[in-house]
Structure 1
Amino acid sequence: MYSEIIRLKELGLNISQIARHLDISRNTVYQYGNLNPDEYNQVLEDMQTRQKKLDHKREKILSWLKEYPDLSGAQVFDWLKERYPEIDISESTVRNYVSYLRKEYDIPKTIHKRDHEAIEDPPQGHQMQVDFGEEKLKNAQGNLVRLWFIAFVLSNSRQKYVEWLDRPFTTEDVIKMHENAFFFYGGRTKEIVYDQDHLILTSENSGDLILTHEFANYTRKRGFLIYMCRKQDPQSKGRIENVVGFVKKNFAKHRTFFNLERLNEDCLAWLERTGNGKKHNTTKKIPAEMFALEKPHLLPVYEKLNSTCKNSITRTVRKDNTIWFMGNRYSVPLGTYDGTEKVVEVMKVQENILVISDLETKQELARHTISLEKGKLVKNNNHGRDRSKGIDKYIETVAVFFNQPSQAKEWLKKIRAQKPRYIRDQLQMLQRSIEDVDVLITEKALNYCLKHNLFSATDFNDAIDYFGKMQPKERITRFGEADFIEIKPLNEMDRSKFETKPMTRDFNYYKEILERGHIC
């Protein structure tokens, strides 16, 4: 590079031209362009002997790379900061040093990849693949509108069918659009491949698929086989994945949404013109022409089945006894979640009413007004723990300790109204304070609190302390009988000594002494 810079410089090229020609920075041209051959050789020698900033950690980093060949430079940087907090180095320096060590010691970065095998297309009329998509289009006013679509593709001919909706799909919608697709194709295949969607599948159940109730009935009537892809395995249904991407990028991108009917009409026209009318990239054949050969192999469909299922979908109950629906959480009764993947049926009975039912018994679990907001918790009052029963019982228990339980109960209810969050703590404090106190004192304290509108266990305790000091000797039980009058000790002593008082002098006496001392 040095000789090339010198050669171009001698030809009369300026710094910028040399930098562009050699694809290097102008600083590099400045640095090497002003060196003579001896100075350049010295630079090369210095580069060979120069210490790298991380050389003192070479062995440690090298051991990591040998043990974990797929380790990234960013992770090495994090490990260094974790083990040596005092180290002062940038992440780019670490990345460069890791690259240097990989080249120096021939440690290529291993990449774990999944092996894919090309397979023959299924026989004609054997398989169809189905998947769902979602896209946002601008309407005539320029606002974004969220839309949903379902796509079908015949695995042999690649003939496609797509239908759009302006709301999320329900099981009834899915069944209806299957019927529309069968009549579009003029028949059905023996097998249909699906992703694990909640509209179709309740649980994979280790291979023994549990379908949603409505879709299971539909498959029995139509008689087709179901192949369900594993979770997070889009490669196993690559044909329909490509169709969904094709619809989004070629048909939907930058399209204006006017209404649903026009969108579906435009989509059918696009399918005829492009989706099924252009040569397929993999087969190098036109799907419409290949479909003409596949159509005779489809199983006949003579009439559309009228869907008798309700406009329902399924949802999994979360640990907090809620379900997700349209971006909000809706409550179900406490205990609905049983530690398993509990699935419930969700149905809109009106435009704004959501009904949640047991999937097996069809018993209604909850009914909510659908929220138009997002991220809200919509909860029925009777779906939480009924904490009021325990508190009510506790109030009755504490009220018994008073001479007039009904009066005490009303006072305790006012404490509850003012301190609902801490009512249990208040009751515990009151119970501890009155268990071993004269009923007469507790009655006085209660009357004092009622008279001065004091609704707090702390104020009640202060009143007990006050009245307790005022009446230290005689104790009255809650039954009105004296437990004891003043107890006299067995070894009686002269109590007059307790009445002895020290002699006190008048203040003037001390004043006179101080004045005499001042005169001296």
Structure 2
Amino acid sequence: MTNRRFELFEYRQVLVRMRQGDSDRDIARSGLMGRKKLTAVRRVASERGLLDPGQPLPDDAVIAGVFGRTPHLPSTCVSTLEPFREQIRDWHDAGVQGTTIHHALKRNHGYTGSYSAVRRILLGLRAERGVPATTILEFAPGEAAQVDFGAGPVLAHESGAQIKTWFFVMTLCWSRHQYVELVLDQTVETWLACHRRAFEWLGGCPGRVIIDNAKCAITRACMYSPEVQRSYAALAEGYGFRIDACPPHDPQKKGIVESGVKYVKKSFVPLRTFRDLTDANRQLREWIMQQASTREHGTTREQPLARFAIEKPLLTTLPDVAPVLAVWSEVKVHTDGHVVYKKALYSVPFTLVGKSLWLKSTDTIVQLFHQHELIATHPRLRKPGDRHTVRDHQPPAAQAWLEHDPQWCLARAKEIGPSCHALVLAMFNDTVLVNLRGAQGIVRMREKFGDQRLDAACERALAFASPKYRTVKTILDKGLDSQPGAASAQTSTAPADTYLNGGRFGRDLHSLLLH
């Protein structure tokens, strides 16, 4: 009891009783102070004239000055770590653990003291820093909701693999009624879809949504001007709520949902089994309505569901047509004229190769924008590696190659003349070369030489058993198309199908050996 610290009101009561004539034994018997302490107090009070009943009892400031505890003198013992105090302070401010600091001092500075010395100096530094004060945030009904992700249970897949899950939790700040869903990822698509289902579950939308700085919502965390993910900003505009991002590394600003996530983990997950994700979410909905929202909340001391009955009419009414959930991504056009999104490829006009575009993806379509102008629309592809190419997006040479197929070449050759048609058929009958470009080049010659000359050149090429692009071009360049054909070409007007089946120009091995 010798080290007991007496409060000011106890000194005052002792002085009153001494002024009334009570002995130290009587006062000690009441339990106010021990007789040894009372003797010291009576001596000091007599010296200061505080026991004179004719004088008014001094105020608390005077009594505190006389009997207040005398501060301890600074210890004369100097810590062996005093030369390293500033270094230890820097490490402590950086969040380095005490044991790590102790090992670093031993390793780098030859320190031979114990860890207890490190612990004592760290306690002193923490006392200097003080305890930060917090502020309780008050919310009106319907004003705000807080949203967060939390680690969920590991589910067993039918293949035997373990699937990691997360809880999506949205808690109304006033009523504490919440929406909880178990999901498999934290992508932008999941984030947006969970918001929609949460608003539909609550039957309305709060005025603002308080979040942390998850990448699916905030692309650049900043205390004063955070940058919101474009997809999330569009959802907020569609539903009419405002986004309130917490300052970086300050989760206390959304402490309501932080507590909600802990409550879900500790109250819902233990002693439960889940067949799959669907079964887990079914149990979650039942748990919310039958336990979580019907309990007496530790802060409000009311049932969240009962308070929600008051808050629900004050939520913003949901739009008649729900906003389209669209994910915006910035993509770059590759040299093949395609962009990649979710491992699928989508074409854009070839003139945009190397440029950055905005891609808007929904469940059904993918749209691409350049400087706010829609330039391409594709169906949404789901299988990695799939490609959707619009022919008009390709360069002219590629379009010509794709559009001018063998059937197109044959149709144009037939318009030119029978010899041209027969020569193109013979080219396509080649068993080694495709000859598509050669056939395209022959048909294109009509623009320079005309149908009559081109058909005559093809006739001469057939007469010399050379159905090739180079042969026809040489004949036209040298003007040989107007000369009569060789004597061996008297049967050059054979039916076209003979060139297809190798009749005129096809010879078997026996005939080749004889000649």
Instruction: Provide the TM-score with structure 2 as the length reference.
Output: 0.45
Instruction: Provide the TM-score with structure 1 as the length reference.
Output: 0.44
